[in-house]
């Protein structure tokens, strides 16, 4: 029995004239996700994606898991291919049903017939396949309202397909179809989730990480690489820019008011990330900030950090509770890495009583005690790039 993967395009089906370019990106992304398993044939016809391989897909479960992480796909299933005649459809449906049976006791058959020339209509196909299964499998009955397994028969132009239940796809828009953005990636729970959410909307990601040796160690840096690698299941080919942040933090600590430390530090992060975004042709910054979560995430603090950026700052978590963010981080498997206990540069020198409503004027007075340009340029000189 030959199996392929059938998938349904997500939101991109709503696109008009430019739909082809979204489909092209999606096909490229699926092929790339599958490339460790060989070269696959991927085609889209009428919003259905056909994923096949010359000589058959040897490891279909592994291929399926990979396609499940490709953005732009609403749903997917493994499907058995059969000839377009009732005998072969029935035989294949029975074999496939037995394979997917598990502990199921009830089933129903559904049918879609896009080739209207086929000699039986959908109700006839359902009736024939259903009675064939009933005749050949013991202890099984039909339940049209709440079946344990639904067997779907699709009669299309070139072949017929039999499959059981669809699984949910990754959703969103094809990765890279919305432009490029630079993610400020810490070792925490929030920023990987923020990156995932924007990648899901089609943004190609690069990441910037600030580290502060000797206050933060090699393990903290490694942790961020591991997080970026996890994200790369969804966002392949990411570049991670590491920026040494020690001098900036020490200079702020030494020269500026303690209760403004965090906001001034965050303004340096924005200056640096903004420049890296500019140089790497990204059009937005992404952070994992959520309103009110900490002192630097109040409206006034956010306004004060935003005003420095030439690019829009996207904060997909702004309206989410921590619990909701954690649920996503578990789903994308970054949670276990995020909770490893290595210090992030953000927590180094954190003031005990940060000001929650700083004014821009007082910040600027403090910043003028520093040689901002020199600090920024020194930090930019330390940038190293890791190709994930």
List contacts with Mg ion (CB under 5 A): 186, 188, 344, 346
Q: Is the dihedral of CA 30, 32, 36, 37 positive or negative?
A: positive
- Residue 230 makes contact with ligand ATP by CB under 6 A: no
Binding at 209: pick from Mg ion, ligand ATP, none (beta carbon under 5-8 Å per type)? ligand ATP
**CA distances from residue 99 to 1, 146, 379 in whole angstroms, order as listed:** 11, 20, 59
Query: Of 173, 183, 234, 191, which is closest to residue 207 (Cα–Cα)?
Result: 183
Q: Least Å distance between CB 260 and ligand ATP? A: 15
Q: How far apart, in whole angstroms, are the C-alpha atoms of residue 76 and residue 37?
A: 18
Q: Which residues contact 45 (CB under 8 A, 6 or more apart)?
A: 157
Q: Which is nearer to ligand ATP, 32 or 232 (by Cβ)?
A: 232
Q: Least Å distance between CB 322 and Mg ion? A: 12
- Residue 344 makes contact with ligand ATP by CB under 6 A: yes
- Residue 32 makes contact with ligand ATP by CB under 6 A: no
Residue nearest to ligand ATP (CB): 188
Q: Which is nearer to Mg ion, 67 or 346 (by Cβ)?
A: 346
Q: Least Å distance between CB 296 and Mg ion? A: 10
Q: Least Å distance between CB 177 and ligand ATP? A: 23
Q: What angle do CA 95, 98, 102 make, to 5 degrees?
A: 155
Q: Are 122 and 154 in contact (CB under 8 A)?
A: no
Binding at 118: pick from ligand ATP, Mg ion, none (beta carbon under 5-8 Å per type)? none
Q: Least Å distance between CB 344 and ligand ATP? A: 5
Q: Which is nearer to Mg ion, 147 or 188 (by Cβ)?
A: 188
- Residue 350 makes contact with ligand ATP by CB under 6 A: no
Q: Which is nearer to ligand ATP, 177 or 186 (by Cβ)?
A: 186
- Residue 346 makes contact with ligand ATP by CB under 6 A: yes
Q: Residues of 210-224 as b/e, b for ≥16 C-beta within 10 angstroms?
A: bbbeebbeeebbebb
Neighbours of 117 (CB within 10 A): 8
Return the SS3 of 374. Answer: helix
Positions 269 through 298 that interact with ligand ATP (CB under 6 A): 287-289, 293-294, 296
Distance of CA 25 to the CA centre of its chain: 15
Q: Are 104 and 92 in contact (CB under 8 A)?
A: no
Q: Which is nearer to ligand ATP, 156 or 223 (by Cβ)?
A: 223
Q: How far apart, in whole angstroms, are the C-alpha atoms of residue 293 and residue 191?
A: 13
Positions 176 through 205 that interact with ligand ATP (CB under 6 A): 184-186, 188-191
List residues binding ligand ATP (CB under 6 A).
184-186, 188-191, 208-210, 287-289, 293-294, 296, 344-346
């Amino acid at each position: 029995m030959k199996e392929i993967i059938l998938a349904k395009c997500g939101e991109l089906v709503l696109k008009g004239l430019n739909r082809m370019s979204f489909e092209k990106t999606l096909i490229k992304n699926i092929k790339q996700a599958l490339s460790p398993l060989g070269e696959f044939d991927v085609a889209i016809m009428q919003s259905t994606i056909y994923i096949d391989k010359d000589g058959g897909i040897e490891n279909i479960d592994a291929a399926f898991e990979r396609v499940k992480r490709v953005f732009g796909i609403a749903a997917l299933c493994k499907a058995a291919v059969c000839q377009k005649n009732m005998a072969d459809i029935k035989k294949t449906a029975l074999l496939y049903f037995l394979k997917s049976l598990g502990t199921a006791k009830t089933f129903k058959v559904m049918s879609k017939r896009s080739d209207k020339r086929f000699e039986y209509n959908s109700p006839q196909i359902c009736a024939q396949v259903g009675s064939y299964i009933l005749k050949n499998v013991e202890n099984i009955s039909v339940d049209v309202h709440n079946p344990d397994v639904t067997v779907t028969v699709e009669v299309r132009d070139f072949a017929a397909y039999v499959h059981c239940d669809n699984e949910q796809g990754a959703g969103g828009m094809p990765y890279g179809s919305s432009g490029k953005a630079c993610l400020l990636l810490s070792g925490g729970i929030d920023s990987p989730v923020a990156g995932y959410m924007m990648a899901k909307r089609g943004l190609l990601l690069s990441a910037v990480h600030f580290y502060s040796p000797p206050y933060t160690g090699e393990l903290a840096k490694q942790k961020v690489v591991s997080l970026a690698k996890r994200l790369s299941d969804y966002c392949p080919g990411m570049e991670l820019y590491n920026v040494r942040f020690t001098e900036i933090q020490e200079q702020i600590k030494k020269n500026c008011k303690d209760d403004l430390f965090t906001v001034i530090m965050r303004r340096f992060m924005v200056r640096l990330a903004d420049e890296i975004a500019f140089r790497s042709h990204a059009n937005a910054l992404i952070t994992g900030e959520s309103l009110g979560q900490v002192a630097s995430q109040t409206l006034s603090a956010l306004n004060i950090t935003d005003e420095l950026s030439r690019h829009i700052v996207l904060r997909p978590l702004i309206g989410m509770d921590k619990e909701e963010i954690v649920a996503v981080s578990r789903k994308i498997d970054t949670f276990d890495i995020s909770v490893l206990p290595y210090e992030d540069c953000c927590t180094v020198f954190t003031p005990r009583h940060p000001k929650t409503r700083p004014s821009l004027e007082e910040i600027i007075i403090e910043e003028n005690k520093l040689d901002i340009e020199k600090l920024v340029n020194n930090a930019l000189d330390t940038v190293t790039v890791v190709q994930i």
